[in-house]
Structure 1
Amino acid sequence: MRQVLLLNATYEPLTTLPLRRAVCLVLREKADVVHHDVTGARLRSATASIEVPSVIRLRRYVRIPFRTRVPLTRAALMRRDNFQCAYCGRRAETIDHVLPRSRGGKHTWENCVASCSTCNHRKADRLLEELGWALHVTPVVPRGAHWRLIGVIHDGDPQWAPYVTEPAA
Protein backbone atom coordinates (compact mmCIF):
# COMPACT_ATOMS: atom_id res chain seq x y z
CA MET A 1 0.00 0.00 0.00
CA ARG A 2 1.13 3.55 -0.73
CA GLN A 3 2.80 5.32 2.21
CA VAL A 4 2.78 9.04 3.02
CA LEU A 5 5.41 10.81 5.14
CA LEU A 6 3.96 12.55 8.21
CA LEU A 7 5.76 15.64 9.51
CA ASN A 8 5.24 17.41 12.80
CA ALA A 9 4.17 21.06 12.76
CA THR A 10 7.89 21.94 12.92
CA TYR A 11 8.62 19.87 9.76
CA GLU A 12 10.33 17.08 11.74
CA PRO A 13 9.61 13.61 10.32
CA LEU A 14 7.37 11.57 12.63
CA THR A 15 6.48 8.41 10.72
CA THR A 16 4.89 7.08 7.57
CA LEU A 17 1.16 6.48 7.23
CA PRO A 18 -1.01 4.52 4.84
CA LEU A 19 -2.53 6.73 2.14
CA ARG A 20 -6.04 6.26 3.54
CA ARG A 21 -5.05 7.60 7.00
CA ALA A 22 -3.18 10.54 5.46
CA VAL A 23 -6.18 11.54 3.34
CA CYS A 24 -8.43 11.36 6.42
CA LEU A 25 -6.10 13.73 8.32
CA VAL A 26 -6.12 16.19 5.41
CA LEU A 27 -9.91 16.04 4.92
CA ARG A 28 -10.48 16.58 8.66
CA GLU A 29 -8.16 19.60 8.45
CA LYS A 30 -5.71 18.16 10.98
CA ALA A 31 -2.89 18.16 8.42
CA ASP A 32 -1.84 20.10 5.33
CA VAL A 33 -0.35 18.68 2.14
CA VAL A 34 3.30 19.69 1.71
CA HIS A 35 3.98 17.73 -1.50
CA HIS A 36 1.66 15.94 -3.87
CA ASP A 37 2.48 12.65 -5.60
CA VAL A 38 4.87 13.22 -8.52
CA THR A 39 2.73 11.11 -10.86
CA GLY A 40 -0.19 13.52 -10.49
CA ALA A 41 -2.51 10.74 -9.30
CA ARG A 42 -5.91 11.81 -7.97
CA LEU A 43 -8.47 10.33 -5.60
CA ARG A 44 -12.04 10.82 -6.75
CA SER A 45 -15.42 10.50 -5.07
CA ALA A 46 -18.91 11.40 -6.26
CA THR A 47 -18.50 14.98 -5.04
CA ALA A 48 -14.77 15.67 -4.74
CA SER A 49 -11.39 15.07 -6.32
CA ILE A 50 -8.05 15.59 -4.56
CA GLU A 51 -4.44 15.01 -5.52
CA VAL A 52 -2.69 12.10 -3.80
CA PRO A 53 -0.35 13.48 -1.09
CA SER A 54 3.25 12.36 -0.72
CA VAL A 55 4.17 14.45 2.35
CA ILE A 56 1.75 15.93 4.90
CA ARG A 57 2.35 18.18 7.93
CA LEU A 58 0.30 18.27 11.11
CA ARG A 59 -1.27 21.64 11.92
CA ARG A 60 -0.63 21.23 15.66
CA TYR A 61 2.65 20.26 17.27
CA VAL A 62 2.80 16.73 18.71
CA ARG A 63 5.31 16.18 21.50
CA ILE A 64 7.33 12.98 21.05
CA PRO A 65 8.66 11.40 24.26
CA PHE A 66 12.44 11.34 24.41
CA ARG A 67 13.95 7.86 24.30
CA THR A 68 17.45 7.38 25.58
CA ARG A 69 18.06 4.29 23.43
CA VAL A 70 16.73 3.16 20.08
CA PRO A 71 14.88 -0.16 20.55
CA LEU A 72 16.79 -3.17 19.22
CA THR A 73 14.75 -4.70 16.42
CA ARG A 74 15.77 -6.94 13.54
CA ALA A 75 14.91 -4.24 10.97
CA ALA A 76 16.89 -1.58 12.82
CA LEU A 77 19.92 -3.84 13.25
CA MET A 78 19.91 -4.81 9.57
CA ARG A 79 19.63 -1.14 8.59
CA ARG A 80 22.49 -0.20 10.96
CA ASP A 81 24.74 -2.84 9.37
CA ASN A 82 23.51 -2.00 5.85
CA PHE A 83 22.32 -5.60 5.33
CA GLN A 84 25.96 -6.78 5.16
CA CYS A 85 27.50 -9.64 7.12
CA ALA A 86 29.83 -8.33 9.82
CA TYR A 87 32.18 -11.29 9.26
CA CYS A 88 32.48 -11.72 5.47
CA GLY A 89 30.69 -8.70 3.94
CA ARG A 90 28.09 -10.68 1.93
CA ARG A 91 24.34 -10.07 2.14
CA ALA A 92 23.09 -10.66 5.70
CA GLU A 93 19.94 -12.65 6.48
CA THR A 94 20.30 -13.36 10.21
CA ILE A 95 21.36 -11.78 13.49
CA ASP A 96 24.35 -13.11 15.43
CA HIS A 97 25.55 -12.42 18.97
CA VAL A 98 29.29 -11.66 18.98
CA LEU A 99 29.58 -13.05 22.51
CA PRO A 100 27.09 -15.96 22.36
CA ARG A 101 24.17 -15.87 24.79
CA SER A 102 25.14 -19.38 25.91
CA ARG A 103 28.39 -17.85 27.19
CA GLY A 104 26.80 -14.91 28.97
CA GLY A 105 26.41 -12.49 26.06
CA LYS A 106 23.54 -10.02 26.24
CA HIS A 107 20.99 -9.13 23.56
CA THR A 108 22.21 -5.53 23.15
CA TRP A 109 23.25 -3.29 20.25
CA GLU A 110 26.91 -3.66 21.21
CA ASN A 111 26.75 -7.49 21.07
CA CYS A 112 24.54 -8.08 17.99
CA VAL A 113 25.56 -7.92 14.34
CA ALA A 114 23.99 -8.78 10.99
CA SER A 115 25.30 -12.05 9.59
CA CYS A 116 24.88 -14.29 6.56
CA SER A 117 23.52 -17.77 7.25
CA THR A 118 26.83 -19.45 6.39
CA CYS A 119 28.88 -17.40 8.87
CA ASN A 120 26.20 -17.64 11.55
CA HIS A 121 26.15 -21.46 11.33
CA ARG A 122 29.93 -21.71 11.11
CA LYS A 123 30.41 -19.50 14.16
CA ALA A 124 27.65 -21.22 16.19
CA ASP A 125 28.32 -20.61 19.91
CA ARG A 126 32.04 -20.01 19.63
CA LEU A 127 34.06 -16.86 20.27
CA LEU A 128 35.72 -14.91 17.45
CA GLU A 129 39.16 -15.66 18.94
CA GLU A 130 38.50 -19.41 18.74
CA LEU A 131 37.84 -19.12 15.00
CA GLY A 132 40.47 -16.49 14.24
CA TRP A 133 37.78 -14.17 12.89
CA ALA A 134 37.48 -10.40 13.20
CA LEU A 135 34.55 -8.02 12.80
CA HIS A 136 34.58 -5.66 9.80
CA VAL A 137 32.86 -2.98 11.92
CA THR A 138 32.42 -2.42 15.64
CA PRO A 139 28.76 -2.74 16.68
CA VAL A 140 27.43 0.50 18.22
CA VAL A 141 24.11 1.89 19.42
CA PRO A 142 22.46 3.99 16.68
CA ARG A 143 21.63 7.53 17.70
CA GLY A 144 19.31 10.20 16.37
CA ALA A 145 15.65 10.82 15.68
CA HIS A 146 15.89 9.52 12.11
CA TRP A 147 15.93 5.94 13.49
CA ARG A 148 12.15 6.25 14.00
CA LEU A 149 11.87 6.07 10.23
CA ILE A 150 13.56 2.74 9.52
CA GLY A 151 13.34 2.03 5.81
CA VAL A 152 12.14 5.49 4.86
CA ILE A 153 15.55 7.01 4.25
CA HIS A 154 16.53 4.54 1.55
CA ASP A 155 13.22 3.12 0.31
CA GLY A 156 10.88 6.09 0.39
CA ASP A 157 9.59 8.64 -2.08
CA PRO A 158 12.31 10.95 -3.51
CA GLN A 159 10.26 13.94 -2.32
CA TRP A 160 10.90 12.82 1.28
CA ALA A 161 14.66 13.38 1.03
CA PRO A 162 14.74 16.97 2.41
CA TYR A 163 12.83 15.83 5.52
CA VAL A 164 14.48 12.50 6.38
CA THR A 165 18.17 13.06 5.67
CA GLU A 166 20.43 11.43 8.22
CA PRO A 167 22.40 13.89 10.36
CA ALA A 168 26.17 13.83 10.04
CA ALA A 169 27.80 11.57 12.60
Structure 2
Amino acid sequence: MDVLVINADLGPLHRVSLRHAIRMLCRQVAEIHEAQPDRLIGVYPMPTVVRLVRYVVTKWRYARGPTWSRKGVLTRDGRTCGYCGGHATTVDHVLPRSRGGRNSWSNTVASCYDCNQRKGDRTPAEAGMTLRSKPAAPTWVALAQR
Protein backbone atom coordinates (compact mmCIF):
# COMPACT_ATOMS: atom_id res chain seq x y z
CA MET A 1 0.00 0.00 0.00
CA ASP A 2 1.35 3.41 -0.98
CA VAL A 3 0.87 6.60 1.00
CA LEU A 4 0.62 10.02 -0.67
CA VAL A 5 3.01 12.66 0.69
CA ILE A 6 1.81 16.25 0.40
CA ASN A 7 3.78 19.40 1.08
CA ALA A 8 2.96 21.79 3.92
CA ASP A 9 0.98 23.90 1.41
CA LEU A 10 -1.09 20.77 0.55
CA GLY A 11 0.52 20.30 -2.88
CA PRO A 12 1.20 16.65 -3.81
CA LEU A 13 4.86 15.56 -3.84
CA HIS A 14 5.13 11.80 -4.31
CA ARG A 15 4.11 8.40 -2.97
CA VAL A 16 6.01 6.35 -0.39
CA SER A 17 5.57 2.92 1.14
CA LEU A 18 3.53 2.52 4.31
CA ARG A 19 6.72 1.64 6.19
CA HIS A 20 8.40 4.86 5.02
CA ALA A 21 5.33 6.90 6.01
CA ILE A 22 5.37 5.44 9.54
CA ARG A 23 9.08 6.33 9.83
CA MET A 24 8.24 9.90 8.76
CA LEU A 25 5.57 10.05 11.49
CA CYS A 26 7.97 8.69 14.14
CA ARG A 27 10.64 11.24 13.16
CA GLN A 28 7.93 13.94 13.28
CA VAL A 29 8.68 15.25 9.80
CA ALA A 30 5.11 14.53 8.75
CA GLU A 31 1.68 14.27 10.31
CA ILE A 32 -1.36 12.30 9.26
CA HIS A 33 -3.63 14.24 6.92
CA GLU A 34 -6.02 11.39 6.03
CA ALA A 35 -6.26 7.89 7.46
CA GLN A 36 -8.38 4.76 7.32
CA PRO A 37 -10.63 5.15 10.36
CA ASP A 38 -10.80 1.59 11.72
CA ARG A 39 -7.23 0.38 11.17
CA LEU A 40 -4.28 1.03 13.48
CA ILE A 41 -0.55 0.45 13.19
CA GLY A 42 0.67 0.61 16.76
CA VAL A 43 -0.53 3.95 18.07
CA TYR A 44 -1.02 5.46 14.62
CA PRO A 45 -4.13 5.15 12.46
CA MET A 46 -3.32 3.64 9.02
CA PRO A 47 -2.36 6.73 6.93
CA THR A 48 -3.45 7.20 3.34
CA VAL A 49 -2.09 10.79 3.10
CA VAL A 50 0.66 12.38 5.19
CA ARG A 51 1.50 16.09 5.21
CA LEU A 52 5.01 17.42 5.75
CA VAL A 53 5.45 19.67 8.79
CA ARG A 54 7.78 22.05 6.93
CA TYR A 55 7.43 23.30 3.36
CA VAL A 56 9.85 21.72 0.86
CA VAL A 57 10.88 23.86 -2.13
CA THR A 58 10.28 21.96 -5.39
CA LYS A 59 11.13 24.57 -8.05
CA TRP A 60 14.00 22.37 -9.27
CA ARG A 61 11.50 19.71 -10.23
CA TYR A 62 9.66 21.93 -12.70
CA ALA A 63 12.60 23.99 -13.97
CA ARG A 64 13.42 21.40 -16.61
CA GLY A 65 11.89 18.16 -17.70
CA PRO A 66 12.65 14.72 -16.34
CA THR A 67 15.88 13.01 -17.29
CA TRP A 68 15.76 10.18 -19.81
CA SER A 69 15.16 6.65 -18.57
CA ARG A 70 13.87 3.39 -20.06
CA LYS A 71 11.00 3.34 -17.58
CA GLY A 72 10.18 6.93 -18.51
CA VAL A 73 10.04 6.11 -22.24
CA LEU A 74 7.73 3.15 -21.61
CA THR A 75 5.53 5.33 -19.37
CA ARG A 76 5.50 8.22 -21.86
CA ASP A 77 4.36 5.91 -24.66
CA GLY A 78 1.86 4.04 -22.49
CA ARG A 79 3.69 0.74 -23.07
CA THR A 80 2.43 0.84 -26.66
CA CYS A 81 4.78 -0.03 -29.53
CA GLY A 82 5.69 3.03 -31.60
CA TYR A 83 5.64 0.94 -34.80
CA CYS A 84 2.74 -1.57 -34.63
CA GLY A 85 0.70 -0.40 -31.61
CA GLY A 86 1.15 -3.68 -29.73
CA HIS A 87 2.32 -4.17 -26.13
CA ALA A 88 5.81 -2.66 -25.73
CA THR A 89 8.42 -4.33 -23.53
CA THR A 90 11.60 -2.68 -24.74
CA VAL A 91 13.00 0.65 -25.95
CA ASP A 92 14.16 1.24 -29.52
CA HIS A 93 16.52 3.94 -30.74
CA VAL A 94 15.17 5.69 -33.85
CA LEU A 95 18.73 6.50 -34.95
CA PRO A 96 20.70 3.43 -33.77
CA ARG A 97 23.36 3.97 -31.14
CA SER A 98 25.93 2.43 -33.49
CA ARG A 99 25.32 5.37 -35.84
CA GLY A 100 25.62 8.07 -33.19
CA GLY A 101 22.10 7.93 -31.76
CA ARG A 102 21.87 8.96 -28.13
CA ASN A 103 19.70 7.98 -25.19
CA SER A 104 17.37 10.96 -25.48
CA TRP A 105 13.63 11.52 -25.41
CA SER A 106 13.56 12.51 -29.09
CA ASN A 107 15.54 9.44 -30.24
CA THR A 108 13.79 6.63 -28.35
CA VAL A 109 10.37 5.00 -28.56
CA ALA A 110 8.71 2.12 -26.76
CA SER A 111 8.75 -0.99 -28.93
CA CYS A 112 7.59 -4.58 -28.87
CA TYR A 113 10.23 -7.29 -29.14
CA ASP A 114 9.26 -8.28 -32.71
CA CYS A 115 9.41 -4.74 -34.11
CA ASN A 116 12.69 -4.04 -32.32
CA GLN A 117 14.23 -7.19 -33.82
CA ARG A 118 12.79 -6.45 -37.28
CA LYS A 119 14.18 -2.91 -37.30
CA GLY A 120 17.54 -4.05 -36.00
CA ASP A 121 20.46 -1.70 -36.58
CA ARG A 122 18.68 0.42 -39.21
CA THR A 123 16.65 3.59 -39.28
CA PRO A 124 12.86 3.21 -39.60
CA ALA A 125 13.03 4.35 -43.25
CA GLU A 126 15.68 1.74 -44.10
CA ALA A 127 13.63 -0.97 -42.39
CA GLY A 128 10.43 0.11 -44.15
CA MET A 129 8.72 0.92 -40.86
CA THR A 130 6.86 4.08 -39.90
CA LEU A 131 6.58 5.67 -36.48
CA ARG A 132 3.01 6.13 -35.23
CA SER A 133 3.99 9.36 -33.44
CA LYS A 134 7.03 11.56 -33.19
CA PRO A 135 8.96 11.05 -29.92
CA ALA A 136 9.28 14.13 -27.72
CA ALA A 137 10.40 15.01 -24.20
CA PRO A 138 7.54 14.68 -21.68
CA THR A 139 6.76 17.06 -18.85
CA TRP A 140 6.68 16.05 -15.18
CA VAL A 141 2.91 16.32 -15.20
CA ALA A 142 2.52 14.06 -18.26
CA LEU A 143 4.65 11.33 -16.66
CA ALA A 144 2.83 11.59 -13.33
CA GLN A 145 -0.60 11.18 -14.93
CA ARG A 146 0.21 7.84 -16.54
TM-score interval, normalised by the smaller of the two chains: 0.7 to 0.9
Structure 1 unaligned segments of length 5 or more: list them: 155-169
2:19 matched to 1:20? Answer: yes
Distance 1:146 1:121 in 2: 29
- How much identity, in percent, do the aligned residues show? 38
2:54 matched to 1:60? Answer: yes
TM-score by length of 1: 0.76
In structure 1, what is the equivalent of residue 7 of structure 2?
Answer: 8
- Counting only pairs closer than 5 Å after superposition, residues 131-146 of structure 1 correspond to structure 2 as 131-145=127-141
The runs of 4+ residues in structure 1 deviating greater than 4 Å are: none
- The verdict on how the C-alpha distance between 1:55 and 1:75 changes in structure 2, with shifts beyond 3 A counting, is same
Structure 2 unaligned segments of length 5 or more: list them: none
In structure 1, what is the equivalent of residue 109 of structure 2?
Answer: 113
For residue 128 of structure 1, what is the amino acid of its counterpart?
Answer: P
Contact 2:80 2:86 survives alignment (8 Å) = yes
Deviation of 1:145 after TM superposition, in Å, equals 4.9
For residue 35 of structure 1, what is the amino acid of its counterpart?
Answer: E
Superposed CA deviations along residues 52-99 of structure 1, whole A, max 9, x for unmatched, are 101111011011351423111121111100000000011000000011
RMSD value over aligned CA atoms?
2.0
Which protein is richer in strand relative to its size? Answer: 2
2:127 matched to 1:126? Answer: no
Distance 1:37 1:120 in 2: 46
